[in-house]
Structure 1
């Protein structure tokens, strides 16, 4: 009987090893931000072309959608990495913890600006964040009281603005770009206004002035080519990629240009991220090479390839700090996000 027990244990170990091998996979699964998507795709294609690993599969689900999928659990049917155009929220971290996703490494890869763009068949436009907010918020102050937004034309807000109907194509609620736009424009403006109780207000109009155009920023680019009176909200990299078709409005007197975005002078600048599920590292061995490649000087330094497609690099000392954190697989803590 004792010999049989040992044999059974040995058989169980072999079966467990076989099942683990069957579950392991070579191809990385990545979800998340549409803004980070072109940068992650470049790295993925480079990995596929220069290593033994297959090109990772990347889905553009939006930052919020990606976090939801990433935090579902540790099973290999869940994503290995999620991209984000804003930092993980404390509530998302807590959801990860509740579902057993407790060993996560955070990686900052650079900066991006949110462009407020139009067809370049129009004259250049300069707007303020307050003017954008007064065009798009569901309720605005009139005579000190909040009322449903009455503005139909940009010139209704300020006579210096174009006599064009207010129509803005932008990202959905699952998008990190939407989160950043609400925080950096709408909430930043309304926090300073007594009519809103000096609290951030970011409810967007539902009367057609703001049009949810989905997660695909390229679709917004196409719409602006056809709807030349409209504006669009998306990451700077898409503006740079389509500079022959679109122009970005200056915001608070600052144009959306790399130096102004990197320095923070451009008022709608944000950092870009990805998050690594370290529990998958053994069963998805390609993750190590992908993460190392993404964080390399070759990709995200001032001379890196991703700068050529719109990523705004970090200062060298900050880059070195993040490279070290990621190489050491520093475990993300809730206190890091507050």
Structure 2
């Protein structure tokens, strides 16, 4: 009799096929704190309007969610992970190494990253260069030489005399957060590359350039405040001098308590983000484990609900929650991907 050898991935797939429905009859979703409220509202609607159980949604941060998602195939691993940035090539490799080989990427809309403070304080007007100089670990030497020094700036007025004479105190997400990844890429690097000698560094030493532009100060000017954006909002209300970094949807939900700063002269508004005028905006995603579809009940139906016109459309309930909708053409492409369950090509 001929023996058939199964790969690790095939063994896991076989295991999930025989045990998943007995072990778990609900969809498990982890990931981004920014996508969490959107995913939660879809999950709740899905639970109320179908015969499937309401999916369990956990906020772990984009990086944390992808680590869990890529840990393997089986009922003990998540089916879906939310992300406020695109999956990295290193994460695709981790997935593949652990047998997660068919991953479907679903873009769901756009979001702006805001630097907000309490409405009880004066609204801030910042440039991306101001943001870099205030929050970077290393900055250009104030003596004008083309050298870098550890950030000496204590007050906003040290960075730019037009800014308030107030201590630099910014509450933001940790390195595992997609919001942090997007913020350093769009706001920090956006300001960093306005400094000619640092911009030139990119061609000479890309690794050093990235370290300079993405490195956050660790002396108290930037305070890691966890993945809970609502907690940051509460801290801003308690401390009128502080600024906080989080997604536009949390600003909109709490506009009676906090206000967004102008960045490069643009306010974070729904229209400014959707039209691409606001400089610190990004795409939002979730990722689906194809091996779990047809085994864990309801995944295809959940995908259909999330990508429906009533949810993701221009006047959908996700827009009411603060998500910036995609164009009709973009949404049509996403719906096609979901319908065909087209796996993500390697990066």
Q: TM-score if structure 2 supplies the norm length?
A: 0.89
Selected match of 2:297 from 272, 276, 285: 285
Q: Deviations for 1:184-241, whole angstroms, at most 9, x for unmatched residues?
A: 1122322343443243321111111100000000000000000110000000000000
Q: Deviations over 1:7-29 (max 9, x none)?
A: xxxxxxxxx99943654532110
Once the two structures are superposed, residues 236-264 of structure 1 have per-residue CA deviations (whole angstroms, 9 ceiling, x without a partner) of: 00000000011000101111011111121
- Residue of structure 2 equivalent to 1:13: none
> For the aligned residues, what is the CA RMSD?
1.7
Inter-CA distance 326–202: structure 2 relative to 1 (3 Å threshold): same
Using the alignment, how far apart are the partners of 1:291 and 1:49 within structure 2?
Answer: 15
Q: 1:5 aligns to what? A: none
Go from structure 1 to structure 2 and tell me whether the alpha carbon gap of 1:262 and 1:22 turns closer, same or farther (over 3 Å shift): closer
> Is the contact between residue 171 and residue 215 of structure 1 (CA under 8 Å) also seen in structure 2?
yes
- Residues 283-320 of structure 1, C-alpha deviations (whole Å, 9 max, x = no match): 21211111110011110110100100100000111111
In 2: Cα distance, 1:17 partner to 1:267 partner? 44
- Which residue is equivalent to 2:183? 181
Match of 1:159 among 157, 161, 170: 161
User: Which position in structure 2 is the counterpart of 1:245?
Assistant: 257
Instruction: Give the paired residue count.
Output: 321
For the residue of structure 1 that corresponds to 2:66, the secondary structure is helix
Rounded to whole Å, the distance in 1 between the matches of 2:257 and 2:18 is 53
Counterpart secondary structure, 1:110: strand
Aligned partners of 1:86, 1:300: CA distance in 2, in Å?
18
Separation (CA, whole Å) in 1 of partners of 2:84 and 2:194: 25
Check 1:282–1:246 CA distance in 2 against 1; reply closer, same or farther (3 A cut): same
Q: TM-score, normalised by structure 1?
A: 0.92
Residue matched to 2:273: 261
Structure 1 unpaired stretches of 5+: 1-15
**1:204 aligned counterpart, secondary structure:** coil
User: 2:313 aligned to 282, 301, 305, which one?
Assistant: 301
Task: Say if 1:124 and 1:192 are closer, same or farther in 2 by CA, change over 3 A.
Answer: closer
Secondary structure of 1:310 counterpart: coil
1:208 aligns with 2:207: no
Structure 2, unpaired ranges of 5+: 1-14, 203-208
Whole-Å Cα distance in 2 between the matches of residues 192 and 239 of structure 1? 28
When Rg is computed on C-alpha atoms for both structures, the one with the higher figure is: 1
Distance apart, 1:99 and its partner CA: 1.0
* Aligned positions of 1:29-178 closer than 5 A: 29-142=28-141, 143=144, 144-178=146-180
